[in-house]
Amino acid sequence: MVWVIWGVIVNAWFIPEIASQFFTMGLVIGIIGVVFRLNGMTVNTMASSFTEGARMMIAPALLVGFAKGILLLVGNGEAGDASVLNTILNSIANAISGLDNAVAAWFMLLFQAVFNFFVTSGSGQAALTMPLLAPLGDLVGVNRQVTVLAFQFGDGFSHIIYPTSVKLR
């Protein structure tokens, strides 16, 4: 774990590098478990445990992948480029630009709470809405920390009342 922290701080590792390090650590730990017969581990139990973990991650990975695909289709959010995403952001920013920052942040929270009804996955929501909310907050003058808080509160509070929430199952 110290190796990963060092890589992030010194070499600016991001998701691909960190994921490869965790995969390698899992493989090494599995081999240690097989060699020393920890909890009766065999190569087959190591492989089946990996398969079970991968099976649980398929749906969230697909959701994040689809969200990135949608983002690429609507324009990837580059500020200088003409795109569907920038048109949407400009329209929303013009609509709420005259409002106080606190009211604009409240509308962001409200949007997130409504969006949470349709996408209950926190990582899926982040992948879909943060590319919209972050530049929108910049355009209307809302601090990025407040924008992230609006995302978190909109996600968290709505889980209490929505029947579509996985937290209720």
Domains in the chain: boundaries: 63-168
146-161 pLDDT per residue, tens: 999 999 999 888 888 8
Confidence of residue 47 (pLDDT cuts 50, 70, 90): very high
For the ranges 17-21, 78-82, 112-116, 128-132, the one whose mean pLDDT is highest: 17-21
pLDDT of residue 151: 94
- Segment 74-109, tens digit of pLDDT: 776 566 677 887 888 888 889 888 899 999 999 999
pLDDT digits (tens, 9 = 90+) for 25-40: 999 999 999 999 999 9
Rounded distance between C-alpha atoms, residue 43 and residue 34, angstroms: 6
* 53-82 residue pLDDT tens: 999 999 888 888 887 787 777 776 566 677
Can you tell me the distance from the alpha carbon of 106 to that of 31, in angstroms, rounded to the nearest whole number? 51
Region of residue 142 (left: phi > 0; alpha: psi -120 to 50; beta: else): beta
CA atoms of 55 and 30, how far apart (whole Å): 18
- Is pTM, for the whole model, over 0.85? no
pLDDT at residue number 169: 47
User: Between these two residues, 75 and 165, which has the higher pLDDT value?
Assistant: 75
How far, in Å, CA of 159 to CA of 168, rounded?
8
* % of the chain beyond a pLDDT of 90: 50
The pLDDT score that the predictor gives to residue 143 is 94
Examine the pLDDT at 163 and tell me if it is beyond 80: no
For position 71, what pLDDT does the model report? Answer: 75
Q: Report yes or no: 66 and 73 within 8 Å, Cβ to Cβ.
A: no
Q: Which of 85, 127, 130 is nearest to 111 (CA)?
A: 130
Average pLDDT over residues 116-123: 81
Helical ranges in the chain per DSSP H:
2-11, 15-35, 43-74, 84-96, 101-118, 122-140, 144-161
